[in-house]
Structure 1
Amino acid sequence: MRGALATTHGAISLVNAIGTGHGVTMGTSLSTTVRMSIVPGKGITIHTHNQSSKMIALTIQNIVPSHELARNKVNVWVNSQVPIGCGLKSSSAVSTAVAMACTNVFDLDVTEKDLLEAGMDASLRSGVSITGAYDDVCGCYYGGVNLAHNYKALRFHYERISPDLKVIIFIPNNRTRKNVRNLKKMSHVLDAAWRLAKDGRYWDAMLVNGLAVSPILGPEPQLLDSLLNAGAMGASLSGNGPSIAAVAYEGEVRSIKKVFEPMPGHTIITAINNTKAYSHEL
């Protein structure tokens, strides 16, 4: 029996990619681990809590040669701190970790881009992503801030972010998602957010993104204003929601948490992740 363990991390959106195809993400320290083993046989068995088994299986099929799958039974166990279906890149963290584990278990010689595209394609084909979420997989794999073009699967820029900053994430009890395709109506504003990010003005970009998506996905602009007044450097809906993320220094975290306290839901405080994903054989 051969085995491997891969660890990735979640991320938040600074600029939503659906409107323009350009997206910006930043890694968080919420971890995802995938353990994989193979024995002689055939088939894929997946042990997970609510993650898309179809996406995981497609990721494996995308990166592992068919002749290897024909003679090996694959077992996959997923353990993740990243809340599912909240805009915190849980699917990208899992698909990337699955692809990484495959490279160790099957001793595959693939490029980083091939590895990331295996999960990106699986996300599209399984219906968990609209754009393929290349910006998301970059955030989960590389950490730090990543600027990417999703439709072309190109990463334009990477930057490490100060570890003194914290990410305050509010997850509302009501997780109903709205029609994200309407974001294309705000493409001109989202493009302005993208250009701010290209200039290194990440927190301004995050706020402009928050204001752009607010009429379609929420939250109300007044909430973003309250978060800024409480000390946040930037605040926005993350991805397609419903999570709301704010970035601030440690000393402002308590004030920002108080803004969320009257709202039904819960808050997660996490560090920024600048560490690249890693995997090893067991």
Structure 2
Amino acid sequence: MHGHGCANGAGTIVNAIAIWKGAAFCIDLKTTADVNLDECSDAGAGGAGMITGRIENADTADTALITRCVSLVLDRFGYRCDGVVTTRSEIPIARGLKSSSAAANATVLATLDAIGETLQTMEVVSMGVRAALDVGVTITGAFDDACASALGGIVITDNRNMELVERLVYESDVLIYLPEEKAFTADTDVTRSKAIAPLVEVAYRLALDHDFENAMTLNGLLYCAALGFDTEIAMSALDLGVSGVGLSGTGSAYTALVGRDQIKELTGCWGDMGGSVIQTRIVNKL
């Protein structure tokens, strides 16, 4: 039995690590998953089933998240199967662009496709969040990121209560600056992040007021200071008149919400700072 799934990456408006509340936007970079299952038996027949994982072009990458996603879906419907899950992605890993959330969502969808079952979108999201918590690739569960990946547009969430506060359609081009270094969420200094919590609350309130650019910029500068990332990347964009720019997730990427007339100048500016630049957009309809 074969199934296929696809999910998008996302960028940060408010990082939820400090206050367990966040906001994020869906971007036009995708992860796909293919799940191949041997003949399945009823869970009551015994036997755990063996799921193996592979991440294309990253043979040494940890596959615990995607194999856990497959297992959770099979458990949900009472199946025991052997199988293989393979993901491939346009989203750079360990850069704060929600590659884990996209991989989880895509894998859950692919497994459902393989067994001929369906779930409501928010249950798909919840299953991926549970898998991420189970294997330790997230601190808060990244419910905000998972919602943005699955629903499109901009989402505002309460991660502690797994509540989608609001989803909005928002049109914007997006530029992403990718430094050479990676930054894994699980390695984040949570204590340093908690120290900025009162100011992150201010950023979250700005997001609730739909002042997304200022929320994103304040959040980004705060987390750069807390986690030791260079603020010059964001400042260079602000100097060019960009109003929404900041660190995405826990880094190492930076994202900027830009107008068409700003793309060329900021691309050139960031291109001169080393690393690489990706042009994409907010995706509202999936």
Q: Structure 1-normalised TM-score?
A: 0.90
Please identify, of 174-183 and 260-269, the stretch whose mean Cα deviation from structure 2 is larger: 174-183
Distance 1:58 1:191 in 2: 33
| Deviation of the 1:147 alpha carbon | 0.5
Equivalences, count: 272
1:1-282 map, 5 Å: 2-40=1-39, 42-49=49-56, 50=58, 51-65=61-75, 68-70=78-80, 72-162=81-171, 165-175=172-182, 179-181=188-190, 182-276=192-286
Distance 2:228 2:29 in 1: 24
Distance 1:218 1:23 in 2: 20
For residue 94 of structure 2, give the secondary structure of its aligned residue in structure 1.
Answer: coil
| Deviation of the 1:143 alpha carbon | 1.2
Decide whether aligned partners of structure 1 residues 176 and 132 sit closer, same or farther in structure 2, where only a CA change above 3 A counts: closer
Q: After superposition, what is the alpha-carbon deviation per residue over 1:35-67, rounded to whole angstroms, capped at 9, x for unaligned?
A: 122222642132214453111111122222278
Distance 2:275 2:142 in 1: 26
| Deviation of the 1:84 alpha carbon | 0.4
Residue identity over aligned pairs, in percent, reads: 26
Distance 2:199 2:272 in 1: 30
Please identify, of 214-223 and 123-132, the stretch whose mean Cα deviation from structure 2 is larger: 214-223
Q: After superposition, what is the alpha-carbon deviation per residue over 1:158-216, rounded to whole angstroms, capped at 9, x for unaligned?
A: 01111xx2111111113356743111100011110000000111111001101211212
| Deviation of the 1:257 alpha carbon | 1.5
Distance 1:223 1:85 in 2: 18
Confirm or deny: 8 A CA contact 2:4 2:114 kept in the other structure: no
Distance 2:53 2:229 in 1: 36
Please identify, of 50-59 and 19-28, the stretch whose mean Cα deviation from structure 2 is larger: 50-59
Q: Give the unaligned 5+ runs of structure 1.
A: 277-282
Confirm or deny: 8 A CA contact 2:233 2:254 kept in the other structure: no
- What letter is aligned with 1:11? A
- What letter is aligned with 1:30? L
Confirm or deny: 8 A CA contact 1:8 1:32 kept in the other structure: yes
CA RMSD of aligned residues (A): 1.9
Distance 1:150 1:231 in 2: 32
Confirm or deny: 8 A CA contact 1:172 1:243 kept in the other structure: yes
| Deviation of the 1:13 alpha carbon | 0.6
Q: Give the unaligned 5+ runs of structure 2.
A: 41-48
Confirm or deny: 8 A CA contact 2:31 2:103 kept in the other structure: yes
Please identify, of 205-214 and 42-51, the stretch whose mean Cα deviation from structure 2 is larger: 42-51
For residue 38 of structure 2, give the secondary structure of its aligned residue in structure 1.
Answer: strand
